[in-house]
Structure 1
Amino acid sequence: MTMPETEGPDLAARLIAENFSRTNGALQVGGLDLRALAEAHGTPLFVYDAATLRRSYRALAKAVEGFAGVDYSVKANPNPAVIRIFREEGAGAEIASGAEFAAALAAGVPPERILFAGPGKSDSDIARVVAGGIGEIHLENAEEITRVANAAPAGRPVRVAIRVNPGAGAQGGAMRMGGKPSPFGFDEEELELIVDRIEAEPRLHLCGLHLFAGTQGLSAVTLLAQWAYGLDLAARLGARTKRPLETIDLGGGLGIPYFAGDSALDLAGLRDGLAPLRARVAADPLLAPARIVLEPGRFLAGPAGLYVARVRAVKVSRGSRFVITDGGMHHHLAASGNLGQIVKRDYPVVAVVEEAGAERAPAAVVGPLCTPLDMLARAAPMPDLAAGDLVAVLQSGAYALTASPTGFLSHPSPSEVLVDGGRAKVIRPRAG
């Protein structure tokens, strides 16, 4: 049967129009033919477009200009070449491990522009980042207060912030990070107690607050409400310390459209809604000197990436079409629906070559692994395909390769390629 035009195909077409292009039906990335990249570097393959990375950063930075700076959350895509693009745009980095600290340094991020968050920091990672001159460590439990203090060099207190697990009033987004029992941060109701405990530790310098209420947020209204809530908490912290804050980290959590019916985050609405928040900061001497920062990852890196796989076989089983490829959940767990989805929905998956007006029909796009979980799409609208053709998963620049079980069934890991200025560069070679 022919698939009717739905929101799914419209989303994919919109994303291609915004970030890539087609020439004679073939997908182009930064002016390069995706087929040629697949031939040169093999499949499966991740391809990132530097121009789209820069465009995403500049659009957000412009929207929040005068209110907050924009840093990059390395966990979204820790390849140093990707981090370097954002560093060149002016971003600092948010890390969650010693290895991410090393990746950020390798990308040229100054250590004082790096902050370290995470609920289970190891002693070795704490020692590593303290010795490396990290800008700030975000404390998330009582044990970390002592452990970070013990790592402080004589006469040089470590700069720390309190990560707060907020109340229900700050909630929103596809995955909530607070408002309930959580390993992340100190509960809001014990804020003053924790402030007093940190203030009593001479080896620590309490400089700010970190709030991360949720992720994959597509509503500007919700994000603005969360940021206002964060400013309230920051004012409470300042009132307790009786000195101005130096940093206010309002987290990341800005989302991108993945599924049929998703709308892109309204940056104009975000910009227009910031006036009362700017006024609130300017009017409070405890908040006005602070550097306010957002630290998104997915929003900045996600749209720039494609995961490219080659078709190995096409079969029909009891009336359903299966497109079997050389790529799958071992490289892109999120696209398979096995990373945080309760109801599994399809990422935008497209044929790399598709003639204008070609009829499409639903197909399950599956990988080579011996598990029914290895399914990149359940009913993707696809033209006729055959062995040797290519498919691409859009929105694959974040939480893809390094968020996936790459060792499962011992298949090779894919190359990562960055396209910049009309040239392609391997930024992680194929292995295995």
Structure 2
Amino acid sequence: MIKNSEKLTEARAIPKQFKHDNNKLLLGGLSLTNIELLLGSTPYYAYDKQIITEKVASLKAALPSDITLHYAIKANPYQPIVNLLAQQVSGFDVASKKEMLLALQTGMPANNISFAGPGKTIADISAAIIAGVTLHVESPTEISRVANTAQQLSLRANIAIRVNPEFELKHSGMKMSGGAKPFGIDEEALPELIPQLPFEHINLRGFHIYSGSQNLNADAILSTQQQTLSLATKLITLAQQYNPTKIDYINMGGGLGIPYFKNEKPLDIEYLGNQLTTILKSFKSKFADVEVILELGRYLVGDAGIYVTKVIDKKVSRGTSYLVCDGGLHHHLANSGNFGQVIRKNYPVAIGNKLAGDEREQVSIVGPLCTPLDILADKVTLPTATIDDYVVVFQSGAYGASASPKDFLSQPELKEVLL
């Protein structure tokens, strides 16, 4: 009988979206052992398509109908996930030429793909112009490069201006605006810049105002989005005086986070959606035809994935029990604490084939690498594990495999699967 994991009182770290049978974790209806047999070995990432689909559906139901949902591929560029989301969102944001080609191969219209990032090469710019993708330009120099490249190709380039606003998203895990930033053009520079844009070579489609990521404070997000729409109102009004074509969209970025650590609570999406409806009314009354885009990555896929590694040794060193696994930071840098954490905290972890048990112990879980940084979990109390048991790291669907140094110390290849 399959039970909801919340009923396992001894495994409260297990996110409620996952199921289990006979004290063993299931994903996509399969046990961890069967997934290992399917793939051939551990370590692996496994992603649950049903969890992703349900997450997108619940978000769409909560958000105002005036908001269009895009997926930021950088969160997880695994092709099957991108293909799945191509059927569920209205557009993609990409951060490289490789991601752009991946997005185009899903059948997503080029008009619904944006290309952001502060270091685009001429090759990136040329490819985007040829494909018809919209470049989110990040500096005056980049605008000149885009215009010159478009002229050489005898094409018009689609652009949107990425703005570095004066405000920032408070309580965010990573701030992307306010102060000096490599991202976007400073808000105060735009009144002089916009009238001088090379409109003969570009189509100015909109503005991208992205202030921060991984935020669990709904009121902070709402405050920032209100400021975003106020700034967008000023910029669109200014641009319309000079732009020969209309402004198509405003990309408000994302910022919606997922809980990783103890005492963190999920965002109240119903509350967020209701308040956004109110905030949008004034903006849409002025710009009814301007599309409002919410661009999300981690929020859509982060809690749908697990990282699974196997215990290959167990030892005690001066009173500390260690589980040594065949996977580690080279596959999951964020979980090791070396991808943005100031003070390392444990992701939710479990012994995947022993979700609960009478015998429990405190252990530190480490990987196979010759570095003390290779930590999967530090001093966690779990059911007593033995060699060949599975260690599962939850909340691993975003910034996992693609954000990790997979070739570090030349360890065996990592597997991924969408079930």
Identity, % of aligned pairs? 38
Alpha-carbon distance between aligned partners in 2 of 1:328 and 1:297, rounded to the nearest angstrom: 23
Aligned to 2:352: 352
8 Å CA contact retained: 2:258, 2:303? yes
Task: Give the secondary-structure state (helix, strand or coil) at the position aligned to 1:71.
Answer: strand
Q: 1:272 aligns with which of 268, 271, 274?
A: 274
The structure-2 alpha-carbon separation of the partners of 1:418 and 1:193, relative to structure 1 and needing over 3 Å to count, comes to same
In the TM superposition, what is the alpha-carbon distance from 1:156 to its structure 2 partner?
A: 4.0
The structure-2 alpha-carbon separation of the partners of 1:257 and 1:234, relative to structure 1 and needing over 3 Å to count, comes to same
8 Å CA contact retained: 2:129, 2:158? no
For structure 1, which segment, 224-233 or 167-176, has the greater mean C-alpha deviation from structure 2 after superposition? 167-176
Aligned to 1:282: 284
The structure-2 alpha-carbon separation of the partners of 1:110 and 1:169, relative to structure 1 and needing over 3 Å to count, comes to closer
Aligned to 1:74: 73
Q: How does 1:248-259 map to 2 (within 5 A)?
A: 248-259=250-261
8 Å CA contact retained: 1:24, 1:355? no
When normalised by structure 2's length, the TM-score is 0.93
Aligned to 1:124: 123
In the TM superposition, what is the alpha-carbon distance from 1:129 to its structure 2 partner?
A: 1.5
When normalised by structure 1's length, the TM-score is 0.90
Alpha-carbon distance between aligned partners in 1 of 2:128 and 2:87, rounded to the nearest angstrom: 22
The structure-2 alpha-carbon separation of the partners of 1:127 and 1:169, relative to structure 1 and needing over 3 Å to count, comes to closer
Q: How does 1:34-113 map to 2 (within 5 A)?
A: 34-41=32-39, 42-113=41-112
Q: How does 1:377-388 map to 2 (within 5 A)?
A: 377-388=377-388
Aligned to 2:318: 318
8 Å CA contact retained: 1:312, 1:326? yes
In the TM superposition, what is the alpha-carbon distance from 1:410 to its structure 2 partner?
A: 0.3
Aligned to 2:247: 245
Task: Give the secondary-structure state (helix, strand or coil) at the position aligned to 1:313.
Answer: strand
8 Å CA contact retained: 1:81, 1:107? no
Q: Does 1:204 align with 2:238?
A: no
Alpha-carbon distance between aligned partners in 2 of 1:147 and 1:11, rounded to the nearest angstrom: 53
Alpha-carbon distance between aligned partners in 1 of 2:107 and 2:267, rounded to the nearest angstrom: 30
Task: Specify every segment of 5 or more residues in structure 1 that has no aligned partner in the other structure, as ranges.
Answer: 1-7, 420-432
Aligned to 1:150: 148
Aligned to 2:328: 328
Aligned to 2:340: 340
Alpha-carbon distance between aligned partners in 1 of 2:168 and 2:48, rounded to the nearest angstrom: 38
For structure 1, which segment, 102-111 or 157-166, has the greater mean C-alpha deviation from structure 2 after superposition? 102-111
Q: How does 1:128-139 map to 2 (within 5 A)?
A: 128-134=127-133, 136-139=134-137
Which residue identity is paired with 2:405? P
8 Å CA contact retained: 2:347, 2:393? yes
Which residue identity is paired with 2:74? K
Alpha-carbon distance between aligned partners in 2 of 1:334 and 1:169, rounded to the nearest angstrom: 24
Aligned to 1:184: 183
Which residue identity is paired with 1:306? I
8 Å CA contact retained: 1:348, 1:394? yes
8 Å CA contact retained: 1:171, 1:179? no
Aligned to 2:4: none
8 Å CA contact retained: 1:80, 1:106? no
Length, aligned pairs only: 405
Deviations 1:137-174 (A, max 9, x none): 11111111011112225664212111111113544411
Deviations 1:220-265 (A, max 9, x none): 1111111111111111112212365311000022110111111111
Alpha-carbon distance between aligned partners in 1 of 2:314 and 2:103, rounded to the nearest angstrom: 42
The structure-2 alpha-carbon separation of the partners of 1:169 and 1:410, relative to structure 1 and needing over 3 Å to count, comes to closer
Aligned to 1:193: 192
Which residue identity is paired with 2:205? C
In the TM superposition, what is the alpha-carbon distance from 1:80 to its structure 2 partner?
A: 1.5
4+ residue segments displaced more than 6 Å: none
Over aligned residues, Cα RMSD in angstroms? 1.7
Task: Give the secondary-structure state (helix, strand or coil) at the position aligned to 1:306.
Answer: strand
Aligned to 2:3: none
The structure-2 alpha-carbon separation of the partners of 1:355 and 1:408, relative to structure 1 and needing over 3 Å to count, comes to closer
Task: Give the secondary-structure state (helix, strand or coil) at the position aligned to 2:336.
Answer: coil
In the TM superposition, what is the alpha-carbon distance from 1:279 to its structure 2 partner?
A: 1.2
Which residue identity is paired with 2:189? E
Deviations 1:284-336 (A, max 9, x none): 1xx32111111111001111111100000111111111110000000100000
Which residue identity is paired with 2:73? V
Task: Give the secondary-structure state (helix, strand or coil) at the position aligned to 2:87.
Answer: helix
Task: Give the secondary-structure state (helix, strand or coil) at the position aligned to 2:321.
Answer: strand
Alpha-carbon distance between aligned partners in 1 of 2:355 and 2:370, rounded to the nearest angstrom: 33
Task: Give the secondary-structure state (helix, strand or coil) at the position aligned to 1:269.
Answer: helix
Alpha-carbon distance between aligned partners in 2 of 1:358 and 1:67, rounded to the nearest angstrom: 52
Task: Give the secondary-structure state (helix, strand or coil) at the position aligned to 1:288.
Answer: coil
Aligned to 1:3: none
Alpha-carbon distance between aligned partners in 2 of 1:278 and 1:340, rounded to the nearest angstrom: 32
Which residue identity is paired with 2:188? E
Which residue identity is paired with 1:270? L
For structure 1, which segment, 106-115 or 22-31, has the greater mean C-alpha deviation from structure 2 after superposition? 106-115
Alpha-carbon distance between aligned partners in 1 of 2:103 and 2:259, rounded to the nearest angstrom: 27
Task: Give the secondary-structure state (helix, strand or coil) at the position aligned to 2:13.
Answer: helix
